[in-house]
Structure 1
């Protein structure tokens, strides 16, 4: 029987993947916690940034498989859009719930973006097929 060498995802890429999964799960919890008493417009405002986070989590599903540099850059760009909007929402928050909603995306999103810029993670996405 022949042994097959399988590439192992570096800890930095795995940590970014787990942060994105955790952020997506936190988004579901936030949506369920804050939906009570919102109009459809308010629910749309609440959902908009979380939809982008869920897109990033879907992209993170491919990190250990066939993902390459394009997936990494797409995740970074989408997360930067989420973070810019979250900083804007955090500074202009009208209630503590709005602030916590935005702060959660900031606290978990910034480390995910930073981890994807580390050389080990970049090397993982630039590996040969």
Structure 2
């Protein structure tokens, strides 16, 4: 329900017409105008506060929905931050693994070179 149920309902209408009748007995045409206006107003009495309670319930429902949205956004932000931190950790591990592999290739190459020169055993 909305706050509109707490206020009066007002309705208005109006019309105007201009008519021309067929020839009268005197031999002339008769032209006449008609005007109508209407007005209605009503107000539902809220003796036991049902309408007011309905409006309050709708407001509380809106507040609850907004809090649920905030909670969802906080969860989303937390998840994004957590996944970002994990991704950065994985990037650091990959960089370390690449440096370690490059170091091991260099060590293997040096060992091969020294073995070929006869200064080390393979």
TM-score (norm 2): 0.23
Higher relative contact order (CA 8 A, sep 6+): 1
Q: Which has the higher helix share?
A: 1
TM-score (norm 1): 0.22
